[in-house]
Amino acid sequence: MKSIKFFVLFLIAAIYSFPVFSQTLIQNVENREKMSLNGRWNYIIDPYQMGYLDYRQEPFDESPSGKGGFFENLNDDNAKGRIEYNFDLSPTLTVPGDWNSQEENLELYEGTLWYKRDFTISPEMNNRYFVHFGAVNYEAHVYLNGEKLGVHKGGFTPFQFEVTENLKDGENFLVVMVNNTRKQDEVPTVNTDWWNYGGITRDVNLIITPKTFISDYKVQLADNNMDLINGYVQLDGVSGKSTVLVKIPELGINESFNTDASGKVNFKIPVSNVKYWTPTDPVLYRVDISSENESVRDDIGFRTIKTQGRNILLNEKSVFLKGISIHDENPLVEGRLRTEGDMRMMLEWAKELGCNFVRLAHYTHNEKMIRLADEMGLMVWAEIPVYWTISWENEATYQNAENQLLAAIERDKNRASVIIWSVGNETPVTEARNKFMGNLVSKVRSLDDTRLVAAALEVEREGYTVTVDDPLGAKLDLASFNEYGGWYWDEPGELSKYTFDIHFDKPVVITEFGGGALAGFHGDKNTMWSEEHQEFIYEEQLKMLNKIDGLRGMTPWILVDFKSPRRQHPVYQNFWNRKGLISETGEKKKAYFVLQDYYESLE
């Protein structure tokens, strides 16, 4: 009995010990030599996981023969009979793209779905190859030519597997089993106010590198030093010390460094005459990192960010964060944002609103979105899906949250636009939660001293006083919180009576306020769901917030209506959260213009 138990434990350990990353995430996938694996992938809906578990519910990929799973990609031509699936004859989905918005019968699907794609390649002896996924929601089991590469959990961060030894000359097939079932102990947990879009939602690439390659680097200004670049380069696959070159032609920088035997070098480069990155002048410098056999190009902005008392200083100058919250969701073509055009549209709407700042809620958004923010001049609040009632006591849940945070930092550390890492949203104060989130804050601080750390906290109310005294606030750089005066509590007309008692001498950023309105539905200012009512909320909120000493920014909820299973009103919602300033058809509601006027008045 004992040995069976041990065996089961061993099995469970084995499933989760598949490598999540074969090594450091490859920095700057965008500018690498690669073969895109986007496009149409065959898919099989598998609600009973019959392609993964045998009739005794044991995973096929752990059985001694490893036979029976869909990852083998058998069919009537390559196997003899009794094959009850066939990828090639199955329908296709577009990758990148969530499955919910592509097929009517998948709109509400939560479960397992298999993807398969063929590709042809002639691998070269001197190269290495990596399959890289921008994001898959939520759990992905990845197989190449029938062999398991590994498992990844977390729906919004990238991951990769080295496949140099697995590729065949000629035809190859990649199979991914994706499962988006919500679970209490996962991150996010079962309850969220957004659609649980499943599938391969971001780009898939086969990245091609030399045997020794530049896997990672950081080129950023040192902590609050405007005259010094502090960075590193990491080579992978080195056999001893080597030389790397860092060039920033427009700053006259051309420096070479020797790595240690592990391929890493930390460096400092003094700089002068830098045009610092700002939202009004988002200067990006061309940066070339080279090793003996490779060169990688990036475009990097240089800026500092810090707080001083109740001020936020960007490049040592006080800045007010004129922001808006955004979900990774396309109103016009339903579903997750798929292309750069989708992303640009969202950020252009924010610019037009007068924003210099966006809160990319409530999880890591696409790398392209962050690069666009760099290019278009929008500061970014980046967040991880530590949302509402996570399993605070569970060590594995913590590890998962931390992994997602690390992957986000690893991916976006060179982006000037990202000025704030948020470790979560509206989490209930308990000792376990304070510890969980406090550890995340310490983790960020140990890895990145060039950005602020925050979280969207909650408020308490008594009479007409709104109090902010969440103990986590002591560890954060901002007094940042959500409040829904005029919507979830009290009438908009009453908001002028409220004052704020904020227990932190820090810059105040209101991370959410707002109210729902159905675009095109009109009434007087007290008619629920009318554009006038939402407009009224915004007017009264802005008057109320303006009185806060130390108000240094806001990201009202939210730029565009978004889908949520929690929003059931059959007339006004139909599964749409209506707090957008813009409707799902791109129509601007009246409140949009209230906020626009306010931001203009701050100029």
Beta-carbon contacts of residue 505 (< 8 Å; ≥ 6 apart): 309, 310, 550
Angle ∠(99,137,109) on CA atoms, nearest 5: 45
Dihedral-angle region of residue 553 (phi above 0 means left; psi in -120 to 50 means alpha; beta otherwise): left
Q: Which is nearer to ligand GCB, 471 or 565 (CB)?
A: 565
In the complex, minimum distance from the CB of residue 193 to ligand GCB, in angstroms, rounded to a whole number:
4
* Distance in angstroms (rounded) separating the CA atoms of residues 566 and 556: 20
**Site for ligand GCB contains 589 (CB under 6 A):** no
Q: Which is nearer to ligand GCB, 196 or 209 (CB)?
A: 196
Of 526, 524, 517, which Cα lies nearest the Cα of 587? 517
**Site for ligand GCB contains 512 (CB under 6 A):** yes
In the complex, minimum distance from the CB of residue 382 to ligand GCB, in angstroms, rounded to a whole number:
15
**Cβ proximity of 230 and 268 under 8 Å:** yes
**Site for ligand GCB contains 28 (CB under 6 A):** no
In the complex, minimum distance from the CB of residue 89 to ligand GCB, in angstroms, rounded to a whole number:
41
# of chain residues touching ligand GCB (CB under 6 A): 9
**Cβ proximity of 281 and 275 under 8 Å:** yes
In the complex, minimum distance from the CB of residue 184 to ligand GCB, in angstroms, rounded to a whole number:
18
Q: State residue 236 phi and psi, 5-degree precision.
A: -120, 140
Alpha-helical (H) ranges within 321-394 are: 340-352, 367-376
**Site for ligand GCB contains 52 (CB under 6 A):** no
In the complex, minimum distance from the CB of residue 358 to ligand GCB, in angstroms, rounded to a whole number:
15
* Distance in angstroms (rounded) separating the CA atoms of residues 533 and 591: 9
**Site for ligand GCB contains 367 (CB under 6 A):** no
**Site for ligand GCB contains 579 (CB under 6 A):** yes
Q: Which is nearer to ligand GCB, 296 or 582 (CB)?
A: 582
Which of 328, 426, 531, 561 binds ligand GCB (CB under 6 A)? It is: 426
In the complex, minimum distance from the CB of residue 533 to ligand GCB, in angstroms, rounded to a whole number:
15
Q: Which is nearer to ligand GCB, 265 or 324 (CB)?
A: 324
Q: Which is nearer to ligand GCB, 342 or 426 (CB)?
A: 426
Mind giving me the DSSP string for 407-476? HHHHHHTT-TTEEEEEEEESPPP-HHHHHHHHHHHHHHHHH-SSSEEEEEB--EEETTEEEE--GGGGGS
* Distance in angstroms (rounded) separating the CA atoms of residues 352 and 370: 18
Draw the binding track, 235-274, toward ligand GCB (x: CB under 6 A; -: no contact): ----------------------------------------
In the complex, minimum distance from the CB of residue 559 to ligand GCB, in angstroms, rounded to a whole number:
12
Which of 577, 581, 590, 595 binds ligand GCB (CB under 6 A)? It is: 577
Q: Which is nearer to ligand GCB, 139 or 512 (CB)?
A: 512
Please give the DSSP secondary-structure letter assigned to residue 38: -
**Site for ligand GCB contains 193 (CB under 6 A):** yes
In the complex, minimum distance from the CB of residue 458 to ligand GCB, in angstroms, rounded to a whole number:
8
The residue nearest ligand GCB at its CB is 193
Alpha-helical (H) ranges within 76-134 are: none
**Site for ligand GCB contains 425 (CB under 6 A):** yes
**Site for ligand GCB contains 557 (CB under 6 A):** yes
In the complex, minimum distance from the CB of residue 330 to ligand GCB, in angstroms, rounded to a whole number:
17
Q: Which is nearer to ligand GCB, 6 or 488 (CB)?
A: 488
Which of 112, 137, 196, 482 binds ligand GCB (CB under 6 A)? It is: 482
Beta bridge partners of 560: 582
Q: 390-396 long-range contacts, Cβ below 8 Å, gap at least 24?
A: 390/187, 390/188, 390/189, 390/424, 390/427, 390/433, 390/436, 391/184, 391/185, 391/189, 392/430, 392/432, 392/433, 392/435, 392/436, 393/432, 394/185, 396/185
In the complex, minimum distance from the CB of residue 192 to ligand GCB, in angstroms, rounded to a whole number:
7
- β 170-179/204-210 pair status: unpaired
In the complex, minimum distance from the CB of residue 436 to ligand GCB, in angstroms, rounded to a whole number:
18
**Cβ proximity of 525 and 553 under 8 Å:** no
Q: How far apart are the first and last CA of the chain?
A: 73
**Site for ligand GCB contains 539 (CB under 6 A):** no
Residues 307-366 within binding reach of ligand GCB (CB under 6 A):
362
Interface residues toward ligand GCB, by CB under 6 A? 193, 362, 425-426, 482, 512, 557, 577, 579
